[in-house]
Amino acid sequence: MKREALTVAVLMGGASGERSVSLKSGAAIAAALRGLGMRVLEFDLPTPDVSEVARSEADIAFIAIHGGFGEDGRLQRALEEAGMPYTGSGPYASALAMDKLQAKVAFAACDVPTPAYRAARADAPPGVILSLADALGFPVVIKPRSEGSSLGVTFHKSANSLIDGLNAALKFGRVALMERAIIGRELTVGILGGTPLPIVEIRPRRGMFDYDAKYSDASTEYIVNPELPKAVADRVQETALKAHRALECGYLSRVDVMLDAGGSPFVLEVNTVPGMTERSLLPKAAAAAGIPFAELCRFIVDAAAARANFVSMRRHRRSAAS
């Protein structure tokens, strides 16, 4: 599959709370690929129905749909069933990373450090919710089980606001995740081609890196290669890569990490379709590693093409052997 001859379908939009961010990511990717001389087709998908994409002249689908079906494996499965190569992780890893409770189980199985947690269900009495928080110890964070961009995430120093926070998370599903809050530095590590990119530290002036801090608050600071002892920085990157592998992700992800006061990292989550806007963290880290945005997009397309060729060759060998 020659790169120069590729036609790339950029899939964006979706129907989740991250739709607006996805449209920005998709537009940036499409512009970068056109600048590289590739032919680009843009698709705003409201559902994981990829029939129109499959009927197009596209050789590869570049997934830029954040949250919802774009990251939970449904879109990836539909593309595989349609025989369309695509970027990023496969259905299994996508579903596992999107489900924060299942990801916690996978982290535990692979000795990936992650904050202590409990599942909080919609039908649980207030007394049970309080007992869960007491068992973890305040402060706690409550977040939706399967949502991104910090949508529905709240921080609680005491029980006073606990039920309101739970209700905010339950707007996105019947089960929420309650997690012991790690007080320290908020970091993220991009994984590209199985290699950790430079660490990015996030310093929100709002006190919490919520949706507004990510996408509209200009005062949020992003420090690439923050001051950290080398041993700590190495541990953060190694832990991020371990989390990426624990969920069996492909060649691309972004791992969010909290670093406590003692210098110990705790993985919060793995993003299999990282943001690709001008404010996004993966492009910032790639640029610090000497990979401009357009080259980052080229790498992602090339990796998808290489995987498609590998799968095709493997199927051909199996067919010949039979």
Q: How many CA atoms lie within 13 A of 251 on its CB side?
A: 14
Indicate if 167 belongs to the active site.
Answer: no
Indicate if 179 belongs to the active site.
Answer: no
Instruction: Identify the residue with better confidence: 147 or 54.
Output: 54
Catalytic one among 275, 280, 298, 302? 275
| Calpha distance 85→207 (Å, rounded) | 41
Pairing mode, strands 154-156 and 195-203: unpaired
Per-residue confidence (pLDDT) for residue 220, from 0 to 100: 85
Indicate if 254 belongs to the active site.
Answer: yes
Indicate if 221 belongs to the active site.
Answer: no
Per-residue confidence (pLDDT) for residue 24, from 0 to 100: 96
Average pLDDT of span 67-76 = 95
Per-residue confidence (pLDDT) for residue 209, from 0 to 100: 44
Average pLDDT of span 94-109 = 97
Q: How confident is the model at residue 317 (pLDDT cuts 50, 70, 90)?
A: very low
Average pLDDT of span 156-172 = 94
Indicate if 201 belongs to the active site.
Answer: no
User: What three-state secondary structure class fits 24?
Assistant: helix
Window from 42-51, 150-159, 177-186, 308-317 with minimum mean pLDDT: 308-317
What is the tens place of the pLDDT at every residue in 252-302?
999 999 999 999 999 999 999 999 987 899 999 999 999 999 999 999 999
Average model confidence (pLDDT) across the chain: 91
Per-residue confidence (pLDDT) for residue 142, from 0 to 100: 96
Say yes or no to pLDDT of 309 above 80.
Answer: no
Per-residue confidence (pLDDT) for residue 313, from 0 to 100: 40
Catalytic one among 18, 99, 179, 302? 18
Average pLDDT of span 168-190 = 95
Indicate if 271 belongs to the active site.
Answer: yes
Say yes or no to pLDDT of 94 above 90.
Answer: yes
Asked if 218 and 278 touch (Cβ cutoff 8 Å), the reply is no
Catalytic one among 99, 147, 179, 256? 256
Indicate if 127 belongs to the active site.
Answer: no
Which residues, at least 6 apart from 87, have a Cβ–Cβ distance to it below 8 Å?
Answer: 60, 61, 62, 63, 252, 300, 301, 303, 304
Per-residue confidence (pLDDT) for residue 147, from 0 to 100: 73
Domains defined for the chain, CATH in brackets: 3-88 (3.40.50.20), 96-111+183-272 (3.30.470.20), 117-180 (3.30.1490.20)
Indicate if 251 belongs to the active site.
Answer: no
What is the tens place of the pLDDT at every residue in 201-216?
999 876 554 545 454 5
